[in-house]
Amino acid sequence: MMELVDEGPVCIESTFLTIRLMENYLKSFEYFLLVSCFFSTFLQIYVLVKAVKYIRRATGDECLHVFLLSMTMGDLLLTSFCYPIEQLREQEIIKPPQWINVVQHFLTWLGLSASSASLILLNADKLMYFKFPLRYANMVTSAKGISLAVFVWFGCGVFVSLCWWLECFTCEEDCRQLMILPNKVVMYIVFTVSACIAPSLTSLGVAIYILNVVTSHRSKLSDGKDKKLVPFQQSFPENGNSSHALATRLRTFYFIFMTTIFTVGTLLPYRIYNIQRQLTPREQGEEISCGSIIFSWTCLYFVSLNAILNPIITVTVLPQYRFQWMCKKISSNPATTAVYV
């Protein structure tokens, strides 16, 4: 994109939007993404360490941590390797060999699909809790959660490998970019829908359903007058403070809900736009406005923001993963934040 801008006009300018302004905007956004990737990587490592600790401690909510571990691993692949390589390559700071570019593209597809699928598991876990509170402990175990997470990664790896094996695209310039072949567009659409659009919309539907359940009873949670909440309290007989246990579960749900909304807002625009572009390709020589170029690239950058900002949401919203200093700032009684289920 930057090379095209330097060579000459690539879009129709307007009074407020010139090619030079567009170039500065895109470069600034790319530098911001590059720096943010390194910062986000440290947060993701912190989340992974905490997740492993909670899984080993068998805190009673292992599946939440297993699925969060799976989602964060996908994001870590993107922010620690894929996105930095892509940005450094596009800025011509480095010129990696072809095999590095191939690995980068493969892991990008794998990380995106595994992260989205893991978000479905997080929502499904909370759906099972609110639908079957008395049977939840027996139906959802850490062993089953780990098996599901492994299956997700295996399935995503097989699917992405299948796309490469069927040669759905061609590499250009040492595989710096992947070009979808016209006769393989259907395969790309299947991947986009199954690995990005469907998981996001499924997670959104589940999250909205649970939100309606929570909202309808929120006013009665504190005094426990709602009979429909009795099963939730009975599902924690070993906990002396069942209301606090339920409140903790609700906080984890709000975290999953926020993550789902953020994922839908960052991933769907580019995926839908890209499918539309593949189905109705632009004719050669057709004029395009600079605003359209900025829109398409901004949608692409939002895909990167999803993996970058996910750990920030985790360490600020999810009680189990907050920093100690943050807990002290938020609560005057930080000891209560240490009780999890």
Domains detected in the chain: 2-6+17-338 (1.20.1070.10)
Residues 334 and 337: their CA atoms lie apart, in Å, by: 5
| pLDDT over 50 at 39, yes or no | yes
Q: What is the mean pLDDT of residues 166-190?
A: 75
Q: Which DSSP string do the residues of 118-186 spell out, in sequence order? A: HHHHHHHHHHHHHH-TTTHHHHS-HHHHHHHHHHHHHHHHHHHHHHHHTT-EEEETTTTEEEE-GGGHH
Q: What is the mean pLDDT of residues 175-187?
A: 74
Q: What is the mean pLDDT of the chain?
A: 78
Phi and psi for 315 in degrees, rounded to 5? Answer: -80, -10
Instruction: Identify residue 233 by its one-letter amino acid code.
Output: Q
Highest mean pLDDT of the ranges 101-110, 225-234, 328-337: 101-110
Instruction: Return the higher-pLDDT residue of 96 and 337.
Output: 96
**Residues recorded for the chain:** 341
Q: Confidence band (pLDDT; 50, 70, 90) for 4? A: very low
Residues 248 and 340: their CA atoms lie apart, in Å, by: 7
The CA-atom distances, in angstroms, between 139 and each of 145, 247, 250 are: 10, 21, 19
Phi and psi for 14 in degrees, rounded to 5? Answer: -125, 180
Q: Confidence band (pLDDT; 50, 70, 90) for 263? A: confident
| pLDDT over 50 at 240, yes or no | no
